Structures are given as structure tokens and as C-alpha cells.
Amino acid sequence: MLDVVEASPDVIHAERVTSWISRQTDVDGPFSYHLIAGGRSNMTFAVKQEGQTLFVLRRPPMGPLLPSAHDMAREHRLMDALRDSDVPVPEMVGLCQDETVNGRDFYVMRFVDGIVVRDIDIASTMSISVRRTMSESLIKNLVALHRVDIDEVGLGDLAKRTGYIERQVKRWIGQWENSRTRELPIVDAVASALLYRMPEPNPTTIAHGDYRLSNCMMSSQGLVTAVLDWELCTLGEPMADLGGLLGYWHDPQETDPAGDAESTGLTGFLTQDEMASLYAEAMGVDMGSISYYRAFAQWRLACIAEGVYARYLGGQQGAQDEEIDLERMKDSVTERAERAAQLLDMD
């Protein structure tokens, strides 16, 4: 894990949090706390002792929070519920909802060693056989997640069990309307097609909501050692998870709409069709509707890109503005929407 900065006292009250962790574990402090991910999303810290990472702490971002966002108890509940399943998740140390400890809820989990393949530079260091193994392991663990009995693990009341895709499409239509910076009829046309062409749903499962290569910890052999980033997890359509995974997956020679080289285009990674076939064989599902869910994923990513583009235009995205190719980001919205239209066979 990469240390960015040691946590300031207003973010992590080291003395009180250390005391709390020591009470939950057999490990006495002192600990140091190092931010490894943060911003508008939940903040993640490596909890270290003498240079060794022992635990990972998650807390909400600083500043005002939306009532239903950044729910630490929900994230903790999800991973704790999966502890005895075939889905690899970090071991939970505990959830703290006593705001006198650190001002906000937080939870702590045991550190899982591994590699996050977040860019092509990391993927390039791996052998062709390891890349293939990673592809297969990602599908194997997605299947394991979708096979979890939601009632047996105590997650039956996590969310509504019906209407997932319709809610998602309507939600992202709202996001598009709130962030759009120009008229793009193709985005609106795809939205309408998604609403009116919804396939019959598959049996409801746990839906991760953001399952992809960079949200999994991998071993050096290419096996998933932990599935991470459960912020968007709910009960829903399993094929939406597969479509989302393929939305971030780029075949060799395929142009990445984000304008960056994509790890999965390297030799050894399975193609999108091969990934879908592996999933279909393991789950025994009909792949006739996969194009719909791949289209939904591309359209959703177009809406997300427009939101990011709008925030950069408005100067709301912080100090990284100079590093972003705004024109490329703007073009990626149209490209993803066009890809969605192609997947839906729209004229």
C-alpha cells in the first residue's frame, strides 16, 4: 500500500483510536495512521506499527455528509456477514459508533497483503499466465458472491429485492440531468431505450455495485485475496455486476474511452466475451441479456464522466485540474454513450 500522508489529528485522534483498537485486539499501541485513499469517497488509512501495516481503518470524508451516504455500519455489516462465505473479504476487527472516540463512525479490519492492479504499469510487471489467472479469479469470486444465500448470511433486509435496474436507470437519469453541460441526444436516447427494454430480472443476489479489477486485492499468483470497496453494495441484479466489470474491461486493441492505456488490453487477460462465457457457464444463466447490462454499464460511466467533467469546469475537483485532459474527458462521454447504443442495436 502507498502512504500518501500521515493522518492529521482532526481526521484521526490517534490516542483515542489506538486505545479503542487495542481493546478490540491483542495488539497494544502505539500506532501511526497513514491515508491511502480519500476525498469525496470514504477515507482509508493504513494502521502501522514500526513500519508494518497491521490494520486498515475506514471513516467517512470530512465535512457535511448526505444522510444515507458513507454508512460505516453498512460496510462493516456486509463484510462481516461474508466472513464464512467463499467470498474473500478482510477480517473485521470492529465497528465504532461512539463519536467521542473520533468524531465519526469508523471501522477497522485486519490488513490483507496483496496487490491492487490500478494501472497498466502494475499489470505490465505480471506474467501472461498470471494475467489469465487474474481474469479467471475475478469471475470465480463474482460467481461466489452471487451464490451467497442472502437470508442465510443475515442480509435479507439490506435493501429492496425488486426493481433494481429501473431504480438505477432513473437514478442516473437524474444525475445526468443535474450535471449535463450540453445537449447530447444520444445519452437521452440510450436512457429511454434502457427504460423500455429492461429484460426479465434474474433472481436477486448481493450486488457489489462496483466490482472490477482495481477494487480487488490480488496475490502475486493472480488470485483474488480480498474484494474491496463495498460502498455501493445492495441487493439487486447479478448481471449488472457482470456488465459493470466488463464496462471497465478493455480487449486488446480496443480504444479506452477514458483516453488511458488499460491494463486488461495486455496479452494474457481474457476478452470480454471469454469473461462473460465463464460467468454464464458457472452460474447457468442465459447470456441473451448481457448486451443490455453492458450497455447500462457504458451509459452509467458516461453519466459519471459528465459529472466529473462538470465539476472540473466548475473548479470543484481540487488541485488536480491541470493534470486532466478536459477535452478527452468530454469526448469520452459521447464515446461511451455511442458504445451503449451499439450494444443495444439502436439505429
List, for residues 253-286, the tens digit of each pLDDT value: 776 655 455 789 999 999 999 999 999 999 998 8
**Cα four-point dihedral sign 131, 136, 139, 143:** negative
**What pLDDT score was predicted for residue 3?**
44
Q: Indicate whether 241 pLDDT > 70.
A: yes
Q: How many CA atoms lie within 13 A of 68 on its CB side?
A: 2
**Average pLDDT of the residues of the chain:** 90
For the domain spanning 5-110, the CATH number is: 3.30.200.20
Topology annotation, domain 120-343: Aminoglycoside 3'-phosphotransferase; Chain: A, domain 2 (3.90.1200)
Q: Are 254 and 266 in contact (CB under 8 A)?
A: no
- 81 pLDDT band, cuts 50/70/90, is very high
Equal CATH topology for 5-110 and 120-343: no
With a CB cutoff of 8 Å and minimum separation 6, the contacts of 185 are none
**What pLDDT score was predicted for residue 2?**
46
Q: Which helix (H) or strand (E) holds 142?
A: helix 128-146
- 342 pLDDT band, cuts 50/70/90, is very high
C-alpha–C-alpha distance, residues 25 and 18, integer Å? 11
- Structural domain boundaries of the chain? 5-110, 120-343
288-334 tens-digit pLDDT = 899 999 999 999 999 998 988 888 887 755 544 456 678 888 889 99
With a CB cutoff of 8 Å and minimum separation 6, the contacts of 331 are 257, 259
Spell 78-116 as b/e; 16+ CB within 10 A means b. Answer: bbbbbeebebbbbebbebbeeeeebebbbbbbebbebbb
C-alpha–C-alpha distance, residues 190 and 237, integer Å? 19
Sheet architecture: strand order including 92-96: 5-6, 32-37, 43-49, 52-59, 106-110, 92-96
Region 62-76: what's the mean pLDDT?
73
Q: Which helix (H) or strand (E) holds 32?
A: strand 32-37
Region 107-134: what's the mean pLDDT?
95
Region 90-115: what's the mean pLDDT?
95
Q: Are 247 and 301 in contact (CB under 8 A)?
A: yes
Q: Indicate whether 91 pLDDT > 90.
A: yes
Q: Which helix (H) or strand (E) holds 53?
A: strand 52-59
For residue 53, the cross-strand partners are: 48
Q: Identify the residue whose cell numbers are 450486488.
A: 207
**What pLDDT score was predicted for residue 17?**
96
- Number of CB atoms found within 10 A of residue 123's CB: 22
Residue type, 301: L
Q: Are 218 and 202 in contact (CB under 8 A)?
A: no
